[in-house]
Structure 1
């Protein structure tokens, strides 16, 4: 398994979402071997509702979710580790989470 710590969603900056996801998919395929356990990281305004919205997206039995409060308590950082079969599945998860208001995807 290769180290993905150098790839962040915001690093792939194109104006067109289609190009963005195509570029992101290329990078995933380049550095990762699928299937694998993939780690997602998100920051959301602190609320049980926001956390629950993210948690209900990741339903695979392998899923582990860690929640950490910010120093001020205004935000939660969620680290989600789950099984994914393909780069397209990673992208599908990101697209689902992107629908949540004020989420930051790392």
Structure 2
């Protein structure tokens, strides 16, 4: 992980710690190329967590937005999921 990414996660953890009471609902938003394999990789990362997952394809069909609403235990768990899905090629976390 590069220094810029590490600093981002440190700031995110501080913000989540001060703005939410944990455990809490957290909404992840991702954009991936519209390939079933990539969408399924995101879904499997949240498998058995009771997540509500919604997908919306772009007008051109080239990209798919994936929203994941899930109960998370703490800011560290939120960040761990971001790191877990960051290995999916072409993913953009919003």
TM-score (norm 1): 0.81
Where 2:50 maps in the other structure, the secondary structure is coil
> How many residue pairs get matched?
93
Partner residue of 1:47 out of 35, 51, 56 = 35
Question: Once structures 1 and 2 are overlaid, which stretch shifts more, 18-27 or 50-59?
Answer: 18-27
Q: Deviations over 1:32-80 (max 9, x none)?
A: 1110121100000001101001011002342110010000000000000
Q: Relative contact order: is structure 1 or structure 2 higher (C-alpha 8 Å, sep ≥ 6)?
A: 2
Q: 5+ unaligned residues in a row in structure 1: which ranges?
A: 1-13
Contact 1:43–1:78, Cα closer than 8 Å, also in 2: yes
The CA RMSD measured in Å over matched residues stands at 1.5
Q: Is 2:58 the counterpart of 1:70? A: yes
> Which residue number in structure 1 is paired with residue 92 of structure 2?
104
Alpha-carbon distance between aligned partners in 1 of 2:79 and 2:41, rounded to the nearest angstrom = 17
Q: Closer, same or farther in 2 for the Cα pair 1:20/1:61, shift >3 Å?
A: closer
Say whether residues 1:17 and 2:5 are aligned partners: yes
1:87 maps to 75
| Greater than 3 Å deviation, 4+ residue runs | none
TM-score of the pair, normalised by structure 2: 0.91
